[in-house]
Structure 1
Amino acid sequence: MGEALGRSHEIALTQGELDEARLSHQDSWVTFQTFEKARRAPGDVDADLLLVHGYGDYGGKWVANAAEFVRRGYRVVALDLPGHGRSSGLHVFVPSCNILTRALASVVEDIYPPNKQLFLMGHSLGGFLAINYALQYPPAQKGGKSESDSHSHSHSLLTPQRPHLAGVYALSPMLGISPETRPPWVVETVARMLASLIGHVPLIRSDGSLKTEDARVIAETLSDIRVYQGALRIGTGLALLSGVESINRDVSKLNTPLRICHGDADRVTLCDASRQFVARADNTRGDKSLRIMHDVNHVMLADRPTPLSREVVNDAIAWMDQYCGRV
């Protein structure tokens, strides 16, 4: 499509797509949108950018911030994670973070020819998933093999049909949970006892106002039917905690360029966890960096451009420009 960016609620499965799913006995799907220039110009980057939203949100929340990336030449893809937005699944029930990571991989394989350059950009849970994808699907090299095929760890999910992952830009990534958000240990203990029986049941009420002090953003989030407003489901909460533990164990294996942007006033995910993650990562190539934004809370990209979101988008473009064309 052209540079005009549409609203996410205009997306709908056609009857033909529904019939195809029924005939193939596949009752699950991942919804995504793509945005790109109708005509490319000299100097445009030749790369794709997959945007990954956070917990309870959906891909359409990114649309307002996609225009600058499209103008730079990126083909922008915004997906709805399983159990979110218009993708299938019980609303925000995530029994395993790897299910979400595999969803990213399925979108990549669906829309990308092999070996095309790709960047991932994610917020919060989406930032975690973008990094986790880089760990699970190491960068593809010529011939379709990954840099770590010869010594891949046991849970790597490898496929030759993937592009070269050029870099990950993570906003407020879920690498550590703030004490203001994490439930008391007693609640976690009870949740673990109940998970196998009623993991889908909502248990822990979250306070959306912890994410931002912007009253407009809070009001619009509460009125948006595509944003999950319920309590955190037992199984989802435990899956997120398990994912955080796992990704921090594997930090030394990350061989993809990484840029983390985190606010030091974040009340949802820990800024210190991002500091520690970058400090522990292998940075012999100088491709891991961290930007701390003073007095900034969790939400950096709202549903419309703001001075903060423009600053973040410009930082992301400047960082990705360093790696465009390197394969």
Structure 2
Amino acid sequence: MRTVHQWRSHDGLLLQQHTWPADGHTKATVMIIHGLGDHGGRYHRVAEQLASQGWAVTALDQRGHGASHGPRANAHVRDHLKDTGAAVTALRRTQPGHPLFLLGHSWGGMLALAYALQNQASLDGLVLCSTAARPTPTSATTMALGRLLAKTAPGTGTRRLPLHQTTRDPQALADFYADPLVFRHRVRARMGFESLVTMNETRQKLSALLTPTLLLHGTADRIAPVEYSKHLYNALTSTDRTLKLYDGLHHQLFNEPERETVLDDLTTWLSSRI
């Protein structure tokens, strides 16, 4: 049974967090970081599946997303990372001794990776699903324009993502478009620029990541190409890294018709690391 509570961020914003307690004995905790424009409540399928198998699951509505306060899908990345750190600290305090895994999807995978590189000791494992992690640097011209827009017109709409290609499941796609809490507009200038900066910074530090890592990606992903996860797998030096590719699957792996296969792979990997 999902519960929802709210708490104040370091700068006073009201943030919403979803929690699914484990059925029976708690094996470990999984914290989900959702994708850009999404919110924590939309990950109920994976959360309910994990909870039924003894995993406690929590998912924050990132600031400016879902029911959380803040500039709509356009906050500073540094503040998202601070919010993640506050949520992790609270979990460690309220669930001492439980292993803690971070699961980031898409843009949330970028945040999870950036957080893990800065706070490896606080995590027992990292799951990166359809992760936004460009393998090559963005051109200097694009970065200069992005920096200018982020400073002078941070709310300007830039790239439009092909959201109609996020999943091949018609009902899941209909639910996505019907959800009033989902942000489906163009990527805002500040968020786009700061995300590119974060990708550039994390790319240079990947060899330092020693946390056990699972990479999940569909080969037909049109939002974050599968090459992103292939690059991450090859760049990581950790001996405990796993890459799972799903032929023909799109961006939202947990909403695809083959979601049970993805969930089975996830739970198998998690179970082997507690």
Q: TM-score, normalised by structure 2?
A: 0.88
Q: Distance in 1 between matches of 2:263 and 2:158?
A: 35
Shift of 1:185: 8.9
Contact 2:22/2:53, CA 8 A, preserved across alignment? no
Deviates more, 1:215-224 or 1:126-135: 215-224
Q: Does 1:131 align with 2:113?
A: yes
For 1:215 and 1:307, locate their aligned partners in 2 and report how far apart those are by CA, in whole Å. Answer: 9
Q: Which residue in the other structure is 1:269 paired with? A: 224
Shift of the 177–213 alpha-carbon distance from structure 1 to 2, 3 Å rule, reads: farther
The answer (yes or no) to whether the contact 1:57–1:227 under 8 Å persists in 2 is yes
Assess, with a 3 A threshold, how the Cα gap between structure 1 residues 287 and 12 changes in structure 2: closer, same or farther: closer
Q: Which runs of 5 or more residues in structure 2 are unaligned?
A: none
Please, which of 80, 93, 96 is the counterpart of residue 61 of structure 2? Answer: 80
Q: Which moved more, 1:191-200 or 1:312-321?
A: 191-200
Distance 2:229 2:83 in 1: 24
Partner Cα separation in structure 1 for residue 166 and residue 31 of structure 2: 23
Q: Post-superposition, which runs of at least 4 consecutive aligned residues in structure 1 deviate over 4 A? A: 184-189
**Helix, strand or coil at the partner of 2:254:** coil
Structure-2 change in CA distance of 1:26 and 1:125 (3 Å): closer
> Offset at 1:186?
7.4
CA RMSD of aligned residues (A): 2.7
Structure 1 residue 177: Cα displacement: 8.1
Corresponding residue of 1:216: 171
- Report the structure number with the largest CA radius of gyration: 1
| 1:296 matches 2:249 | yes
Deviation at 1:218, TM superposition (A): 2.9
Q: Distance in 2 between matches of 1:108 and 1:12?
A: 15
User: Aligned partners of 2:10, 2:146: CA distance in 1, in Å?
Assistant: 33
> Conserved in 1, the CA contact under 8 Å of 2:102 and 2:125?
yes
**What is residue 143 of structure 1 aligned with on the other side?**
none
CA offsets 1:39-87 (integer angstroms, 9 cap, x no match):
43xxxx5311101111100000011221221122111111111111111
Matches within 5 A, 1:160-179: 165-176=123-134
Q: Is the 8 A contact 2:159 2:187 kept in 1?
A: yes
Matched, 1:31 2:16: yes
Counterpart of 2:164 in structure 1: which amino acid? S
Structure 1 pair 298–83 and aligned structure 2 pair: CA distance change class (3 A)? same
Residue 268 of structure 2: SS of its match in structure 1? helix
Number of matched residues?
271
Instruction: Give how far 1:196 is off.
Output: 1.0
Per-residue CA deviations over 1:237-284 (Å, capped at 9, x if unaligned) read 10111111111111001010001011111111121121121112113x
Which residue of structure 1 lines up, in the alignment, with residue 197 of structure 2?
242
Structure 1, 223-232 or 199-208: larger mean CA deviation: 199-208
Superposition TM-score, scaled by structure 1 size: 0.75
Higher strand share: 2
Q: Which residue of 2 aligns with 1:150?
A: none
